[in-house]
Structure 1
Amino acid sequence: MCGISGFISRQWPEQDLRAMSNCIRHRGPDAEGIYYNSRDGVGLAHRRLSILDLSSAANQPFYSSDGRYVMVYNGEVYNYREIAAEYGLTTRTSSDTEVIIEMFARQGIAAIRQLNGMFAIAIYDIKEQQLFLFRDRVGIKPLYYFFDGQNFAFASELKSLFSLPVTKEVDTTSVSNYLYLGYIPGRNTIYKHFNKLLPGSYAIIKDKQVSEHSYWKLEDAITPSVITNEADAFAQLKELVISSVRYCMISDVPLGVFLSGGVDSSLVAAVAQELSDKPVKTFSIGFNESKYNESGYARQVASHIGSSHHEFIVKENDAIEIVEKLTGIYDEPYADSSAIPTYLVSQLARKEVTVALSGDGGDELFMGYGFYYWAKRLNNPLIKAFRHPIGQLLRASGDNRKKRAAYMFGYPSAARRKSHIFSQEQYYFTEKEIHELLKSPRPVLFDEELDDHPRKLSVIEEQSFFDIKNYLPEELLVKTDRASMQHALEIRVPLLDHRIVEFSASLSQDLK
């Protein structure tokens, strides 16, 4: 886990590159590396958090053995040893960094499809004077870029781009989407000209042109038929989870697990403990208020699996102090209050370990959120029969959430209801309210975000795929990355191994 930044511009000197790197020094306190090519106006910067091959030989920027390519990279590729063995790579280091660039030198863009892991990669081709950017399939690692038609820059965080002499202009469409969804979907950010490279995508930058392409899509994992046999599904998923957790435990530094006591984190912790020959360190956050405090569940799980458990009870002053820091951490609007406990559990874990495993992704892949149950309830024949009086009762309520729920009962078709299902747990404004506030185009709607797929999906399945493509990378994983990297802590997410994601897409809704 690290921080990367860079640019292609003849207007920005090397000191601007160093300023970009300095803005994200918290992501990599162990080493800094700079590549600056004054002939091409190209700069690459890297802040290193040492996880694999702790020697200086693995520092970045890293050159290919033939000297043609230079790379900076953030993340981890878990299957790098298998790749090196399969292709007979003779490497100078024991790091995944070298395997990535040597595979790219051999196979070009096709090499990325062989990587299993989380990554944001920038590779400059010195010979052809072109830059390649890659982002992992699910969007675990962030990668932002700025392009105004003349100058191009990229970075792990927006604050690094903000250090450049560029103008920031708020995008009202992004504001509209943020108010409706609680985050900004797709490639946009809150500012014009500042974008995200989409998950599963790569970009080629050459001659002041930026072209983006996809190398992986969730839709490609949707099969014409689904897995319906529970025993077969259980066996397949068990094998995949064990394999993924084993991969995620590869580390040359101390490692632990976030443990909330919920199903997903408990599963990851239990498998990690089963694979370890000593007690795994687990970490949880609790609260003084009993109705919010779930730390007791985490303690019970830790006791059952035999982990070495660490707990922090959040006090009011702790939360207030962190709220004041959030603007500087997230760089654009962020609506999830769980950013506070995530920050605190990362702070707690970093005192003991450098790498932590998280259960993120399970709710999205296997429909664990409450709004999935809302969707199922709406199909109840009794509710369908009385949807008009139910809607009237909800609209008469003084509770804003109930008023928003009333919109769902006003739509006779599932296609029109689905965009409102989400608002019951996450969103704050209706489309009409946003339009009245901003006089802007209506927010992006759920059904406009899905590409073609080989079988007809239910409304609830579409909901789940929307979450995986949007909520997961643009909200949940943003929180995990920013909160952990403030403390130079690497978070790994075994349940988001692309093999598990693809498996979930082929699984019957009834088994989720």
Structure 2
Amino acid sequence: NGMFAIALYDRQEESLMLIRDRVGIKPLFYFWDGNHFAFASELKALLKLEIVKQNIKINHKAINDYLHVGFIPEPQTIYENIYKFPAGSYGILKEKYFKIHEYWNISKQLNTHTINSEKEAKAKLNELLISSVNYRLISDVPYGVFLSGGIDSSLVAAVAQKITGNIKTFSIGFNEAKYNEAPYAKAVAHYLKTKHTEFTVTYDHAISLIDDIISQYDEPFADASAVPTMMVSRLAKNDVSMVLSGDGGDELFWGYGAYHWAKRLSNPFIRNFRFPIASCLEMGNSRQKRVAQMLRFSSDDFLPAHILSQEQYFFRTKEVSQLLNQEYLSSASFHDPEVERRKLNLIEKQSLFDFNHYLKDDLLVKVDRASMKYALEVRVPLLDYRIAEFAFNLSPELKHKNHCDKYLLKQVLYDYVPKSYFDRPKWGFALPLNHWLKNELKPLVQEYLNPEKLKKHELLNATQVQKMLKRHESGNDYLYGRIWNLLILQMWMEKNAKVV
């Protein structure tokens, strides 16, 4: 139970075993070309090896996926022949034979029948949370909790405070009121009587860390909340060496807007007439255009990836095909195993997709790299495998009830912190990116997305990029996610041009 990446060498058998934790909290990479094998916890370590450097090439499929969802999904990396070792698996290398075996997959933990009793489910979830937090508070170093003031982090902080009575909490805020959750975090901390530390992020603080995204994440990574995650990690490291985070609650208990989209797109009328509806909406304002883009999905097979992509304001698959130069075009790579024990609705499928991809390859990557930059250990109580298995076997009615997202999780939380502290819309951990890209970050956009730089790497269609920048300037479309995605990609290409 917990997070780990392990390598065991058997001298007698002359074999190597690699093992990674069930959910994929800790990273593990390997290079394998059929003749040479190497492994490391960072991509940059593998790139130091001569045999790797001699054969390094950009992975075209990875570029396609990155533009679509903002990260590169397991087992791919940005480089050919270098792979992310799959979560919930162990691999054995002996002589020139390497095989990976799966020991845990959430899809195979689903039971035939769901848990339907709210009373029993609430008691069980509370019991599991206390056990999980207890496990993760075993430490010989000072510890605390990341506290945003939202449902998940507040629940983790509340349970930890009940157990210890002396928890330290950490949060960051922004000068822009629209993005500033700090007052809510402070209010929860005051109620729980934690020792709370807060830091306000300015543009100058954030811009100083953008270059660090390129170096710290080793491959293109478009989650802009990596910046505030680095900031809160730096803040916490001044006082503690380990923190608990609330990651996982949205995927397990349905906290994203993506699940509302999945419900809407389950409607037979919308599914059958989505293209005519989209054509009408495309004539409207920017909000209506975004709805139109959500309706334009190619097939049910890739619908969860499409919903995630559009929730994050990234590129649809058709846009990717227009944006990439011909030699980089490739097919999508999201294929989740079928669940055999019970039939899932579209919301459950979206949740499973998010758990297997968005959580593992975006959110956990973001937190691990950001915190490790400051040698801060982050433990994730909500991703105890017992809680994950419990959550995926809950009745959908206990996750979304009476128009309330994360219903069961909230009922547990309200026994620790009054409901009034959370009577507001979900915010998320984000930057004022749209404003910054049009103002403070505009010189950076002009530097890296100008036609000369684009043509230098022969990756992106310069004409398409310039059209998009003009549309973004006009303010008629939700394009800031796409612009940020391209900016990070081009900055990565520029920094790594000598490597590839």
Task: Name the residue aligned to 1:216.
Answer: 104
User: Counterparts of 1:435 and 1:151 in 2: how far apart (Å)?
Assistant: 34
CA contact (8 A) 1:146 1:194 kept: yes
**Letter of the 1:179 counterpart:** L
Listed one character per residue, the Cα deviations across residues 373-417 of structure 1 (whole Å, up to 9, x for unaligned) are 122233457856874553123322474x75454254356986675
> Which consecutive unaligned segments of at least 5 residues does structure 2 have?
400-500
Match of 2:113 in 1: 225
Q: Is the 8 A contact 1:286 1:314 kept in 2?
A: yes
The alpha-carbon distance between structure 1 residues 306 and 404, as it changes in their structure 2 partners (threshold 3 A), is: same
Q: Are the structure 2 counterparts of residues 285 and 454 from structure 1 closer, same or farther at C-alpha, using a change threshold of 3 Å?
A: same
Residue 162 of structure 2 aligns to which amino acid in structure 1?
E
1:421 aligns with 2:307: yes
Partner residue in 2 for 1:201: 89
Q: Does 1:432 align with 2:318?
A: yes
Call closer, same or farther: CA 1:328–1:408 in 2, change over 3 Å. Answer: closer
Structure 2 CA distance for aligned equivalents of residues 318 and 412 of structure 1: 41
Q: Distance in 1 between matches of 2:325 and 2:65?
A: 11
Mapped contact 1:414–1:459 kept (Cα < 8 A):
no
1:292 aligned to 2:292?
Answer: no
The whole-number CA distance in structure 2 between the counterparts of 1:508 and 1:487 is: 40
Q: Secondary structure at the match of 1:342?
A: helix
1:176-226 Cα shifts (integer Å, max 9, x gaps) = 011112111121101001101101001111112211110111112111110
SS in 2 for 1:117: coil
314, 317, 325: which one pairs with 2:204?
A: 317
1:450–1:466 Cα contact (<8 Å) kept:
no
- More deviation in 295-304 or 201-210? 201-210
SS of 1:149's partner is coil
Distance 1:417 1:164, change over 3 A: closer
Given the alignment of the two structures, is residue 173 of structure 1 paired with residue 61 of structure 2, yes or no?
A: yes
Distance 1:384 1:220 in 2: 29
Seq. identity, %: 53
Q: What do you get for the CA RMSD once the two structures are aligned?
A: 2.0
Conserved 8 A contact 2:310-2:316: no
1:366 to 253, 256, 261: 253
**2:74 partner amino acid:** G
Deviations 1:67-96 (A, max 9, x none): xxxxxxxxxxxxxxxxxxxxxxxxxxxxxx
Distance 1:200 1:506 in 2: 19
Deviations 1:332-374 (A, max 9, x none): 0001010001001000000100010000011111111111112
- For residues 260 and 410 of structure 1, the distance between their equivalents in structure 2, rounded to whole angstroms, comes to 34
Distance 2:227 2:388 in 1: 28
Q: 1:265 pairs with 153, 161, 165, which one?
A: 153
How many residue pairs end up in the alignment? 393
State whether structure 2 residue 74 is matched by structure 1 residue 186. Answer: yes
Counting only pairs closer than 5 Å after superposition, residues 38-437 of structure 1 correspond to structure 2 as 116-165=1-50, 166-167=52-53, 168-277=56-165, 279-379=166-266, 387=274, 390-397=277-284, 399=286, 402-403=288-289, 405-409=291-295, 417-436=303-322, 437=324
Q: Higher strand share goes to which structure?
A: 1
Are the equivalent residues in 2 in contact too, given 1:171–1:190 (CA < 8 A)? yes
Matched residue type, 1:182: G
Give the match's secondary structure for 1:329.
Answer: helix
Distance in 2 of aligned mates of 1:194 and 1:228:
44
Is this contact kept in 2: 1:415–1:459, CA < 8 A?
Answer: no
SS of alignment partner, residue 396 of structure 1: coil
Query: AA paired with 1:240?
Result: L
Give the match's secondary structure for 2:179. coil
Counterpart contact for 2:297–2:306, Cα < 8 Å: no
TM-score, scaled relative to structure 2: 0.75
Matched to 1:144, the amino acid is F
Deviation of 1:435 after TM superposition, in Å, equals 2.1
- Pick closer, same or farther for the CA change 1:161–1:207 going to 2, 3 Å: same
In structure 2, the CA distance between the partners of 1:473 and 1:451, relative to structure 1 (3 Å rule), is same
User: Cα offset for 1:424?
Assistant: 2.4
Of the three residues 331, 338, 356, the one matched with 1:442 is 331
Q: Where do 5+ consecutive residues of structure 1 fail to align?
A: 1-115
- Residue 362 (structure 2) aligned to one of 462, 475, 484: 475
The alpha carbon displacement at 1:444 in A equals 2.4
C-alpha separation in 2, matches of 1:478 and 1:416: 23
Q: Deviations over 1:25-48 (max 9, x none)?
A: xxxxxxxxxxxxxxxxxxxxxxxx
Distance 1:159 1:491, change over 3 A: same
Cα shift at 1:249: 0.5
Q: Which amino acid aligns with 2:283?
A: A
Q: Which has the higher helix share?
A: 2
Distance 1:442 1:395, change over 3 A: farther
Distance 2:294 2:173 in 1: 35
Deviations 1:236-258 (A, max 9, x none): 11100110001110001101000
TM-score, normalising length: structure 1: 0.73
Q: C-alpha distance in 1, partners of 2:342/2:176?
A: 47
Q: Shift in Å at residue 438 of structure 1? A: 4.0
